[in-house]
Structure 1
Amino acid sequence: MEKKELLSEVAEITAKTLVSTIPVGGTLVTCIWDSIKANAANRRMEDWKNQVEEKLCDLKLSLDDIGNNELFASAMMKATDIAIKTAEDEKRQYLASAVKNSAMASIDESVMMIYLDLLDKYTLWHIRILHLFRNPKAFDQVHVDGIMMGAASIVVEQVYPEIAKEKELLDKIVKDLQNDGMMSEGSYMHAGMTSNGVAASRTTELGNKFLKFIIDE
């Protein structure tokens, strides 16, 4: 058997080893970490590279332009670190859009880093809820005509019924966004309002700028 074939066979046997049979004392964690790097991390990196390439291929910029762009370099390095840490393909799409926009946007690096830190911190539900409340009427699922009195949570129920059922979790998500200045303050999620109030925009200027940076529209 050739050396290459032998190494391949050893790697396959190791990958199929039951965790319960690996000795503790550091060996177990080392084996698990090696498996993560060989599988999940590699898959995520490949997905990330493909997503970034798809975003950048439309840019009318030379390699020199990209290579000398300090803002782009900072965005690429930070976004790559975040991309490897998430299993969510949708979140990597937002990160790839942010990288693309960093190559074209006129933005202070400190502000950009704040946006990327928020993107790192937020779950997909935070981003979806924020996006929804930028302009609820832009979503085809939202129908508020005829509502005499209701709360803003109605539009969440119409677009994202699965998270609307988790009322405490939804309240936390909205509160997180309000605390970060991304959504306006108030108890509109539960307060009675007319149909216009139910479907009104709730994002702040900061929230709108954040969405513009992470969404490729």
Structure 2
Amino acid sequence: MNEKTKETIYAMAKGAAGTVPVAGPMLSELFGVAFADPASKRRTEILEEMDRRLHALEQKGFNISELADNQEFLTIAMQAYSIALKTHQKDKRVALMNSISNTPKLGIEENEKLMFLNYIDQFNEWHLKILSFLNSPESYFAAETRPNLFSGGKATILVLAFPELGDRRDFYDQIARDLKNRDLIAYDTLHNTMSETGLWQSGTTEGGKRFLEFISE
């Protein structure tokens, strides 16, 4: 890690750490490893991944010194770092790191990026999985395993792609409502009967596609 990269990551971490509220002694003890110990496993993993992401950006021609002076980039990176500290879920942490990598590449408006980060904070990993599935249902099935359905609801193929959701209708219905409330998908329910063509069409809105672009490799 070169010195400029170290300085950039340190500035992000220091800024994010300032958002942690003052806690009492018991909370301080409980969260001491996560918030106070600079060598904590989670913090170290996140900072090392941020270093890899910055190095990759440098390899693609981005100037790290310029990024270190870019207030939008620093804000996104600090926010992503702060959210990543609060979760162990791999899909969420990968999405957050992707948001750092994609910030200098994509023309998404700054406030929409910040809104998307808040979505990641509020979501669990199944929100991200189901949104990705609804964006491209066909990609979750090999040609020989794609079910031959003449009609059905999105839920029909969702539980075929993710059998672990088979008896969790209340759970994935709530996720669908969460995604619809944020205008990331185009419908309120996954149970409306559709034609075969409609069944396999993308169900994400333009905002949903931008969100996925922001959090994807």
1:90 aligned to 2:91?
yes
Q: Counterparts of 1:167-206 in structure 2 under 5 Å?
A: 167-187=169-189, 189-206=190-207
Gap change, CA 1:193 and 1:100, over 3 Å in 2 = same
Which is further off, 198-207 or 101-110? 101-110
- 1:171-195 CA-to-partner distances (Å, cap 9, x unmatched) read 00001101110000244x2222232
Q: Is the contact made by 2:33 and 2:40 (CA closer than 8 Å) also made in structure 1?
A: no
- 1:26-64 CA-to-partner distances (Å, cap 9, x unmatched) read 654443233554779821111112222232322212222
Which amino acid is 1:76 matched to? A
Please give the alpha-carbon distance, in whole angstroms, between the structure 2 residues aligned to 1:37 and 1:93: 20
Structure 2 match to 1:64:
65
Structure 2 match to 1:13:
none
Q: Is the contact made by 1:135 and 1:200 (CA closer than 8 Å) also made in structure 2?
A: yes
Which is further off, 173-182 or 162-171? 162-171
Please give the alpha-carbon distance, in whole angstroms, between the structure 2 residues aligned to 1:130 and 1:116: 15
Deviation of 1:110 after TM superposition, in Å, equals 1.2
Please give the alpha-carbon distance, in whole angstroms, between the structure 2 residues aligned to 1:35 and 1:201: 43
Deviation of 1:135 after TM superposition, in Å, equals 1.0
Gap change, CA 1:140 and 1:39, over 3 Å in 2 = farther
Please give the alpha-carbon distance, in whole angstroms, between the structure 2 residues aligned to 1:148 and 1:32: 54
Please give the alpha-carbon distance, in whole angstroms, between the structure 1 residues aligned to 2:34 and 2:49: 21
Which amino acid is 1:50 matched to? E
Deviation of 1:140 after TM superposition, in Å, equals 2.6
Gap change, CA 1:141 and 1:195, over 3 Å in 2 = same
Structure 2 match to 1:52:
50
Deviation of 1:213 after TM superposition, in Å, equals 0.5
Q: Structure 1-normalised TM-score?
A: 0.78
1:135 aligned to 2:133?
no
Which amino acid is 2:166 matched to? A
Which amino acid is 2:54 matched to? L
Provide structure 1 residue ranges, at least 5 long, that are not aligned to the other structure. Answer: 1-25
**SS state of the match for residue 45, structure 1?**
helix
Please give the alpha-carbon distance, in whole angstroms, between the structure 1 residues aligned to 2:26 and 2:147: 59
Structure 2 match to 1:5:
none
Provide structure 2 residue ranges, at least 5 long, that are not aligned to the other structure. Answer: 1-23
Deviation of 1:121 after TM superposition, in Å, equals 0.8
Larger Rg: 1
Count, aligned residues: 190
Deviation of 1:202 after TM superposition, in Å, equals 0.6
Which is further off, 155-164 or 121-130? 155-164
Q: In structure 1, which of residues 135, 146, 149 is the aligned counterpart of residue 148 of structure 2? A: 146
Q: Is the contact made by 1:153 and 1:164 (CA closer than 8 Å) also made in structure 2?
A: no
Gap change, CA 1:145 and 1:63, over 3 Å in 2 = closer
Deviation of 1:125 after TM superposition, in Å, equals 0.3
Please give the alpha-carbon distance, in whole angstroms, between the structure 2 residues aligned to 1:35 and 1:56: 25
Gap change, CA 1:41 and 1:89, over 3 Å in 2 = farther
Root mean square deviation, CA, Å: 2.3
Gap change, CA 1:41 and 1:151, over 3 Å in 2 = farther
Quick one: percent identity of the two aligned structures? 25
Structure 1 match to 2:10:
none
Please give the alpha-carbon distance, in whole angstroms, between the structure 1 residues aligned to 2:204 and 2:39: 35
**SS state of the match for residue 56, structure 2?**
coil
